[in-house]
Amino acid sequence: MGASPAAAQSGSWTGPYFGGRLGYTSQPNDKDERVLFDTDLNGSFEDTVQTVAGADAFQRGFCGGATTDPNATNCRDRDGTEWAAHAGYDVQFGTSLVAGVVAEYGRSDIEDGVSAFSSTLAVYTLSRRLRDHASLRARAGISFGNTLAYATGGLAYGKIERRFTTSNTANSFDTTNDDDNAYGYRYGGGVEQRVSDRFSIGVQYLRTSLKDNDFQVRAGGTGLPVSNPFLLTNAEGTDFRRSGDRFTSNNLSVVASFHF
């Protein structure tokens, strides 16, 4: 017990490293999200879709999540695993301060949706799925010998797949920007433990927020009565989009790195 392995020898954190992380990504509660409508097609999504009697066609409300059930009372987003590969470089100043930069690329499988319920007992769901993602971040921390506690933050990128589904079979629906690139920021922190001169493991938390407000759907149709709520204000149809303009997620991962 008195013999210390090489893994316990304290060394500098200065130098390049590469590795990866694997963890679980969840999404914050967005139960207040709703669908916004532009009935007169003037570019302002502040309208109410009305029936010919003047009632709100979506008085049954909205839910923050995806569903295909027109009578659903609860909707859920899909969380899941996430992995990423990273490469970086750190410099240790003196005995404790460490600063550097890290770039990473990975894949995720999370989906964020919002659903709207009309008085005709139809459901309309807009969803977005995060697949490829990357970030370029600075990181700075304090070294306690073989242990490094750090904070990190920087720019983030994501490839977002968007989808629209509905149980309404009367109207036609055209979408714009089904798949698109999104940009934002990623920040967090972690603790890393050196178990040898070349290898370290740790845990890390990251919060990612991507700007995403380009997805729109136009409800139209031909041969429909003028009393159709989507055509009542403007015969060309009604545009709608989701109210939440950011795709936000939280990730907790196990991280491993090789140092040179």
Average pLDDT of the chain is: 92
The side-by-side arrangement of strands in the sheet containing 216-220 is 35-38, 238-242, 216-220, 172-176
**Which is nearest to 133 in space by CA: 91, 81, 204, 181?**
181
Mean pLDDT computed over 38-62: 95
Q: Kindly state the tokens that stand for 216.
A: 């729109």
How high is the pLDDT of residue 53?
94
206 strand-pairing partners: 188, 251
Q: Kindly state the tokens that stand for 41.
A: 């097609």
Q: What is the pLDDT of residues 141-200, one digit of tens each?
A: 999 999 999 999 999 999 999 999 999 999 999 998 788 899 999 999 999 999 999 999
Where does the pLDDT of residue 8 fall: very low under 50, low under 70, confident under 90, or very high at 90 and above?
A: very low
Where does the pLDDT of residue 10 fall: very low under 50, low under 70, confident under 90, or very high at 90 and above?
A: low
**Which is nearest to 31 in space by CA: 71, 57, 70, 61?**
61
Out of 9-18, 39-48, 53-62, pick the least confident. Answer: 9-18
Q: How far apart are the C-alpha atoms of 20 and 28, rounded to whole Å? A: 25
Q: Residue 211, Cβ neighbours under 10 Å: how many?
A: 14
Out of 4-13, 57-66, 219-228, pick the least confident. Answer: 4-13
Where does the pLDDT of residue 5 fall: very low under 50, low under 70, confident under 90, or very high at 90 and above?
A: very low
**Which is nearest to 204 in space by CA: 48, 22, 45?**
22
**Which is nearest to 124 in space by CA: 87, 160, 169?**
169
Give pTM, 2 decimals. Answer: 0.89
Instruction: Inform me whether the pLDDT recorded for 4 exceeds 60.
Output: no
Instruction: Inform me whether the pLDDT recorded for 9 exceeds 50.
Output: no
Where does the pLDDT of residue 74 fall: very low under 50, low under 70, confident under 90, or very high at 90 and above?
A: confident
Q: What is the pLDDT of residues 202-254, one digit of tens each?
A: 999 999 999 998 899 999 999 999 899 999 999 999 999 999 999 999 999 99
Instruction: Inform me whether the pLDDT recorded for 72 exceeds 90.
Output: no
Q: What is the pLDDT of residues 89-143, one digit of tens each?
A: 999 999 999 999 999 999 998 999 999 999 999 999 999 999 999 999 999 999 9
Q: Kindly state the tokens that stand for 240.
A: 């709608």
SS3 content of the chain, % helix, strand, coil (to 5): 0, 60, 40
Distance in Å from the first CA to the final CA of the chain = 29
